[in-house]
Every structure is written in structure tokens, then in C-alpha cells.
Amino acid sequence: MEISTLATYHCLAFVWYFFIAYSITHIRTEERPSEVFLYGGQWKYLTVLNLVLQAVFYGVSFLADVLRLIRKLRCAKCVISSRDLLFSVLAFPVSTFVSISFWTLYTYNRELVYPKSLDGVIPLWLNHAMHTAVLPFALLEILALPHRYPAKKKGLILLGFVAFLYISWVLWIYSVTGEWVYPLFALFSPSGLAAFFAGSLGVIISFYNFGEFLNRMIWGQSEGFL
């Protein structure tokens, strides 16, 4: 794909995610169901954090494209390294996990992840923007250009560290409020919850490996490019 085309795509994707993140974080206070937006606000939900992550990723990608267009290759190389690390370790596995896990649980019992009280607050299009569109965006990014993956050990350590931070945030919120971020967690015993978190980490690691597999199948053993 031509650099100018990539720059246009990444710019539009950045604007889209910025708009979605802005929309969900600026729901009027009086419209927020009290049982949903307790301590931590929207920032306790992985879906919202993923929107910010995607906006940052596409912003970095657009910057890399611009630097390549103006032939600032030394600066571009550094930004491209950051772009590839963001995509491989976080942007692809997290967006895939958010989309697939949300719709799986929603189909089983929506009250566990997305109570009906949200229907009057969050429009249907915004729900799909947060939970559906993120997956084709991630797949399109793999098709659009190659990404250099880090050494497997480094990538998994970084992914595991970020997962640990989020789980710690969830547990902290529960310790302060006595309420779980997602009603689903209340169904588990402490050991069951630990097993659930471990299983979720295993799933997101499998998405990391899947992204690396797709990147290799489409682009070969790519080392990135300028």
C-alpha cells in the first residue's frame, strides 16, 4: 500500500477512535446508570481503555507515515519501532479479546457484561463501534502493512505485565467499592476468579500468537520497512 494511502487510512482511523473515545467518556452524568458508573468511571472498563489504546496506536502510525512522506527516515525508524510494538503486544490482542469475549458473554447472558440499563444511554451504533468494529480494524491493519514482532519472550512479558496492571486495577476497585467491574466476577469464588483471570490471560496470549501467525503468513519473516 502506498505511503500516502496508509497515511490517509491511519489518520481516519485515529480520528474515528478519538471520536468514539470522546463520545463514551462524555456521556452526561445524569444519564449514567448509577450501578454501572461507580468508582473509576468509564476508566475501569477494558473496552474504554482499548479505545484509548487504539487512538494512540493509530496516532503513532499516522506520525510514522508522515515522517516517511517527508523523508525523515531516522526519526521514522524509531516511531515505526514503537508502532510495531504497540500493535503486536497490545493493539491487536486486546482489540480481538474485547470483541470476541464481549459478544460471547453477551450472547450467553448480556447482564454479565452489558446490562440492559445501558441501552437507553449508549446508542446501538456506539456499542458496535466499541465492541464490533475494533476486530475488523485490527485485521485490516495486518493486511495493510507488515509489523515487526518482538522476541516472543519479550512480547509475552510485556503483555502479561499490562494484563497484571489491569487485573490489579479491577481488584483495587472491588476493595474500595465492594462492587465488581463486571457482574460476571461476582459468580466466582476467589479460586474460581483466579482461574478465570488465568484463563483470560491464556486467551489473550493466544490472540497475540494468532496475530504473529497472520503477520508471518501474509508478509513472511518481515523486519518492518521504511
User: What residues in the chain have per-residue pLDDT under 70?
Assistant: 28-38, 221-226
> Residue 59 half-sphere exposure, CB side, CA atoms within 13 Å?
10
- Whether 226 is in a domain gets the answer no
pLDDT reported for residue 106: 94
pLDDT reported for residue 98: 97
pLDDT 10s digits, 175-205: 988 889 898 999 999 999 999 999 999 999 9
- Whether 105 is in a domain gets the answer yes
pLDDT reported for residue 28: 59
- Whether 85 is in a domain gets the answer yes
How many independent structural domains does the chain possess? 1
pLDDT reported for residue 102: 96
Find the domain containing 104 and state its range. 3-26+41-219
Measure the CA–CA gap between 97 and 157, rounded to whole angstroms.
17
Q: What is the pTM of this model?
A: 0.90
- Whether 32 is in a domain gets the answer no
- Whether 34 is in a domain gets the answer no
